[in-house]
Amino acid sequence: MLFLWLYMFYSCAGSCATRGSPVAREEGNPEEQRGHPPLPAAAASPISSFFNGSGTKRLPQAIIIGVKKGGTRALLEFLRVHPDVRAVGAEPHFFDRNYERGLAWYRDLMPRTLEGQITMEKTPSYFVTKEAPARISSMSKGTKLIVVVRDPVTRAISDYTQTLSKKPDIPTFESLTFKNRTTGLIDTSWSAIQIGIYAKHLENWLLYFPIGQILFVSGERLISDPAGELGRVQDFLGLKRIITDKHFYFNKTKGFPCLKKAEGSSKPHCLGKTKGRTHPDIDQEVVQRLRDFYRPFNMKFYQMTGQDFGWD
């Protein structure tokens, strides 16, 4: 019986794939229509997928687009526990640094998925990249977008702390914050400050995507109530709520939640030593000036998203 089935499968291979392949309709034609070169037939072939036994590589249906030092790595690692989520581990940086390589190159980075599974990636710098919204929209207007946001002052200090760990001789946080400390003029050209002006960046995304297609995750609540935030994310992605309180425990040493069991492991898993670094002491007058600076942008962001993140 097995030999008969295999004979029928091979006999159908050429004509069936050509006549009615749902993969060819879904994944090959849109790229040709958008002016991108067609992908190799093998990438979309149901026959190769069958013998590989691990599904098909697809362009992502959902992307975590930001923000840096907001909690994107934690969110991705938590989501990967879900059996219907398959995600790239490393950040592809396709829509900001590697766009000229083309969609075929991008797709090849993706993990194989089975029917009903979601392909995801995360690259936090997309949120502040001017060209990214148009490029993602060109790939698929239906892409679901996730932004993890965090108190912009805390985020800026965390950003600086990360840089300081790599370059111990950089100027102080206080000196980098101001163009002129005497006048109190904030240097918005410094990326650590500029990233936190969320309302400004969101305006660019709303030119290409409706607000309902973007989910805003609170970085603070991701720490205090990871299961609650993951519940919202699973709903947004149309997934069954499988990730719950039972998956987490709070690590007091690190100061954030960890997984009781990571993807593909029976052991507890916390994010690496680069996460949860101790922040340097910052002059409280500088912190207050930054809070005053961000306040109007935060208020506008709350209005745009319909969420009060409680940063003031």
Query: 56-151+194-274 in CATH: which number?
Result: 3.40.50.300
Is 272 annotated as ligand-binding? no
Taking CA 45 as the corner, what is the angle to CA 82 and CA 18, rounded to the nearest 5 degrees?
135
d(CA 247, CA 260) in angstroms, rounded, equals 5
Q: What is the pLDDT of residues 196-220, one digit of tens each?
A: 999 999 999 999 999 999 999 999 9
Is 277 annotated as ligand-binding? yes
The side-by-side arrangement of strands in the sheet containing 85-87 is: 85-87, 118-122, 62-66, 144-149, 214-218
User: What is the pLDDT of the chain when averaged over all its residues?
Assistant: 84
Is 140 annotated as ligand-binding? no
For residues 290 and 190, the answer to whether their CB atoms sit within 8 Å is: no
Is 70 annotated as ligand-binding? yes
Is 275 annotated as ligand-binding? yes
Give residue 278's pLDDT: 83
Q: What is the pLDDT of residues 105-162, one digit of tens each?
A: 999 999 999 999 999 999 999 999 999 999 999 999 999 999 999 999 999 999 999 9
The contacts of residue 37 (CB under 8 Å, 6+ apart) are 31, 102, 104
Q: 35-39, 51-55, 221-225: lowest mean pLDDT where?
A: 35-39
Q: 24-38, 60-74, 153-167: lowest mean pLDDT where?
A: 24-38
Give residue 267's pLDDT: 65
pLDDT band for position 262 (cuts 50, 70, 90): low
Give residue 74's pLDDT: 94
Is 276 annotated as ligand-binding? yes
Higher pLDDT, 33 or 194: 194
Is 155 annotated as ligand-binding? no
- Burial string for 125-134 (b: 16+ CB within 10 Å, else e) reads bbbbbeebbe
Chain centroid to Cα 282, Å, comes to 29
Average pLDDT over residues 298-311: 98
d(CA 67, CA 22) in angstroms, rounded, equals 35
Give residue 263's pLDDT: 60
Give residue 133's pLDDT: 98
Q: What is the pLDDT of residues 8-35, one digit of tens each?
A: 444 444 444 333 333 333 333 333 333 3
Give residue 264's pLDDT: 61
Give residue 280's pLDDT: 87
Q: Which of 57, 68, 69, 144 is catalytic?
A: 69
Give residue 21's pLDDT: 34
Give residue 164's pLDDT: 95
Is 165 annotated as ligand-binding? no
Catalytic (active site) residue 141: no
The contacts of residue 243 (CB under 8 Å, 6+ apart) are 78, 79, 81, 82, 227, 230, 231, 234
